[in-house]
Amino acid sequence: MNQKSGHRIVVLSGPSGSGKTTLVRRLIECAPVRLIKSVSATTRPPRPGEIHGDDYWFLSPEEFRQRLSEDKFIEHAEVFASGFLYGTLWSELDRAWEQAGWAFLEIDVQGALKVVQQYPDAVTIFVRTPSSQEFERRLRARGTESEEVIQRRLATAATELQLADRYKYVVVNDQLETAVSEICAILKAEEMARNA
């Protein structure tokens, strides 16, 4: 497949608590281009309600390592120093490209940088909250994490924010629908540039 028709990748990153999950759902509903969400593999156990093959491919550490040794991942990383591995499978990109869509990756900063090394044309979008105070407020409002996890996520977010300028676009998720419109406009422009 050539660059023009085939290798469309959009990577979205941002700290948890930046409203990424809702944003991703809305974008899949209403983006002006065909977005095919890449389902990552992870060794993290499923949370209640999460479905294998839909939210993630939930793998044992052995299964994950096996796929690593077979070069099945475009990138992988240990996220949040949690001990859990996450990775994007080449098969997920192929699935998107076979449908003439954009492979839509919602992955962390380490993963995003690795994808860009291989696909410099990837559209990278960093989603951030208006301020670090607001980010902390949202994280605490979810009420799902222990203080230790919150502190770790705040530290990760601060480090990630320093890397935001490595992304092609930075979108502030203050009002959800404004952020959705901004990203839709970015995708439309990128699609047009590729079709030109």
Binding site for ligand 5GP (CB under 6 A): 16, 40, 44, 75, 77, 79, 86-88, 106-108, 110-111
Q: Which is nearer to ligand 5GP, 79 or 123 (CB)?
A: 79
Q: Which is nearer to ligand 5GP, 106 or 190 (CB)?
A: 106
- For the bound state, the minimum distance from the C-beta of residue 75 to ligand 5GP, rounded and expressed in Å, comes to 6
Q: Which long-range contacts (CB under 8 A, 24 or more apart) does 146-151 make?
A: 149/80
Q: Which is nearer to ligand 5GP, 33 or 113 (CB)?
A: 113
Two tokens, residue 85: 């591995």
- For the bound state, the minimum distance from the C-beta of residue 14 to ligand 5GP, rounded and expressed in Å, comes to 8
- For the bound state, the minimum distance from the C-beta of residue 105 to ligand 5GP, rounded and expressed in Å, comes to 7
Q: Which is nearer to ligand 5GP, 97 or 126 (CB)?
A: 126
Where does the chain have alpha helices with state H?
20-30, 61-69, 90-98, 109-118, 132-142, 147-162, 176-195
CA dist list (Å): 70 to 56, 126, 128: 19, 30, 35
Owner of token pair 């052995």: 62
